[in-house]
Amino acid sequence: MSYIQLEHISFEYPNQTLALDEVNLNIDKGQKVAVVGENGSGKSSLFLCLCGIHHAQTGRYILDGEEQKCKRKDRNKLFRKVGYVFQDPEVQLFASTVEKDISFGAINAGMKGEALQACMDEVMEMTQTHDLRKKPPHQLSYGQKKRVAIAGVLACKPEVLLLDEPFAWLDNQQKKNTIQVLDHLHEQNKTIIISTHDINFAYEWADKLVVMKEGRVLATGHPQGLLDNEDLLEKAGLEMPLILKLTKKLDLDIRPNTMEEFLRV
Amino acid sequence: MFISEKYNFLQAKITQHPFEKFTFFVAFLLGSLLTQNILSPFLVVTCISTFFLYHALSVKALFQIAALPMSFMLVAVLSIICIISQESFEAIYITQIGDYYIGFSQISLDIGIFIIVKAMGAMFAFYFLILTSPIDEIEYLLRKMKLPDLLVELFVLSFRFITILLLFSRQCYLSQKKRMAYRSFSSSIRSLGMLISSVLIKSLIHADFSQQALLNRGYRGEMRFIEIHEPFVLKRSIIALLLMIALVAIGQLRL
């Protein structure tokens, strides 16, 4: 049985926009999942349903063998299991200092005293935000805000981490740092689900790819298998990853996982 | 940019417990307000200015922050100094315009100077607090003063989100300006209206997302944060208390 199971999930906004249409999805514990698709394909709505902020009008959402009713009481339990890092860190950071913002979720999760301090030290070290702890959020750069936003969610110790466009507007170094954080979390057997437009990253990083269009899941599977399918890519409005383009151009039989592997070949 | 942000190096240097800073603030404030002469507020201004200069605030910056409230104060004090009467009066300077006599007397001038020095003392006391205490320490003090949580949270959220809205307004204004939106009076009015409405819409959308983010981190109607401060030193607060008594006593002298 999968750790996350979505069965025929549909969600419609009050203005009658159908954001999710009969979505079926299975995700195992510890998996690295990339959700790709055009703007407005339902990626953010899917995330909001997964973390319990939106609750689907139809279908079943099962997390760790427990069906989520997404009532107020369930939502409070759900936030400890599923953390959501918003695309825009500005909406997430609200406290007067970085340290306080990070502590907010941890205190709500019931931590106090030494446990709270240890948890904060751990996430601040992981996200390299220790030096920023006394600063007010509006004095930070965009990349720093993004790191603090991730730290604030990690402090709740979620088992599943949802990241909406984690690399948007980040420079190359910040992107590498974020990937390091994701890899570190993966080592802790956390389930990581990200939505991204960076198809090259999705190809190299993910164990599982979810392709979405107009609120529906077009396909799920290993990125190597899916992103080779030109019909699917055209239908979903996606581009083929650079590695696959090059291997096709060079008529290679193998499909390298990363650019380093490709260069070695 | 807020004045407390502009000179935030002072906040980084002065790391004493917020309550100690607050006791000094109260000493300076009461020393400036409970006075019958200009000596006590003058001492407060001198004391705080020396403190700022000692902690590497430049003389130029000190004059800049002192000049900030000056325009408001001068306008207010001018109405006290200036006497307008239909009858002539004993004055240092007087002039007749039509049926009216306008001028100022020794008493009105003394009152004006007294009020302006007193106000400067109180203003410097507030500068002392905001330039030495970061926003989280102010928040801590407000909570300790048992202010309702709702007001404290509103204060924190307003301070945080006003910076975002100011930044957004500035970007919006620049984008309008680059498209000649303010070339005439009528287009300026129209553009300003559009700017205000877009800021309002942005703030509503932002509030919606922020609420989702809060709920996602377990918000249940109460905001609780970690509190880490330097240990409270009673000795320094006693010094502040003695300073307050001395300033109030000096303020009662008839010079």
Identify which of A158, A184, A132 has the alpha carbon closest to the alpha carbon of residue A47.
Answer: A158
Yes or no: say if A46 and A29 are a contact pair by the CB < 8 Å rule.
Answer: no
Residue appearing with tokens 């030495």: B132
The matching CATH number, chosen from 3.40.50.300, 3.40.190.10, 1.10.1740.10, 3.30.420.10, for A4-264 is 3.40.50.300
pLDDT digit string, tens, across residues B207-250: 888 888 988 888 887 788 888 888 888 999 899 999 999 999 99
Quick one: pLDDT at residue A42?
Answer: 92
Within 10 A of A111 (CB to CB), how many other CB atoms are there? 20
Share of chain B above pLDDT 90, in %: 35
Quick one: pLDDT at residue A63?
Answer: 92
Quick one: pLDDT at residue A219?
Answer: 94
B15–A contact, CB cutoff 8 A: no
Q: Is A136 within 8 Å of B160 when comparing Cβ atoms?
A: yes
pLDDT digit string, tens, across residues B46-63: 999 999 999 888 899 888
Within 10 A of A2 (CB to CB), how many other CB atoms are there? 15
pTM of the predicted model as reported, rounded to 2 decimal places:
0.80
Cα dihedral B190/B193/B194/B197 (nearest 10): -160
Yes or no: say if A153 and A161 are a contact pair by the CB < 8 Å rule.
Answer: yes
For residue B154, the chain A residues in CB contact (below 8 A) are none
Task: Return the number of CB contacts < 8 Å for A and B.
Answer: 97
Residue type, B118: K
Give pLDDT tens digits along chain A (265 positions): 889 999 999 999 988 889 999 999 999 999 999 999 999 899 999 999 998 888 889 999 999 998 887 666 677 778 889 999 999 998 899 888 899 999 999 998 889 889 999 999 999 999 999 999 888 888 899 899 999 999 999 999 999 999 999 988 888 888 998 999 999 999 999 999 999 999 999 999 999 999 999 999 999 999 988 988 889 999 999 999 999 999 888 888 788 888 888 888 7
Minimal-distance CA residue of chain B relative to A152: B217
Interface of B with A in 100-139 (CB under 8 A): 134-136, 139
CA-to-CA dists, residue A182 to A126, A151, A212, A258, B83, angstroms: 10, 12, 22, 17, 73
Identify which of B46, B44, B43, B57 has the alpha carbon closest to the alpha carbon of residue B14.
Answer: B57
Task: Please report the ipTM that was assigned to this predicted complex.
Answer: 0.84
Interface of B with A in 44-103 (CB under 8 A): none
Q: Is B217 within 8 Å of A104 when comparing Cβ atoms?
A: yes
Interface of A with B in 50-79 (CB under 8 A): 51, 53, 75-76, 79
H or E element that contains A105: helix A98-108
Quick one: pLDDT at residue A116?
Answer: 93
Yes or no: say if B137 and B229 are a contact pair by the CB < 8 Å rule.
Answer: yes
Domain range annotation of chain A: 4-264
Domain range annotation of chain B: 1-133+228-255, 134-224
| Angstrom distance (rounded) from CA A85 to CA B27 | 45
CA-to-CA dists, residue B155 to A96, A131, B161, B228, angstroms: 10, 26, 10, 20
Quick one: pLDDT at residue B71?
Answer: 81
Phi and psi at residue B30, to the nearest 5°: -70, -35
- Averaged pLDDT for residues B76-84: 88
Q: How far is CA A174 from the centre of its chain?
A: 16
Cα dihedral A152/A157/A161/A166 (nearest 10): 30
Chain B closest-CA separation from residue A199 CA (Å)? 27
Quick one: pLDDT at residue A3?
Answer: 93
pLDDT digit string, tens, across residues B165-199: 888 899 899 999 888 889 899 999 999 999 999 99
Chain A closest-CA separation from residue B90 CA (Å)? 56
Give the CA radius of gyration of chain A: 19
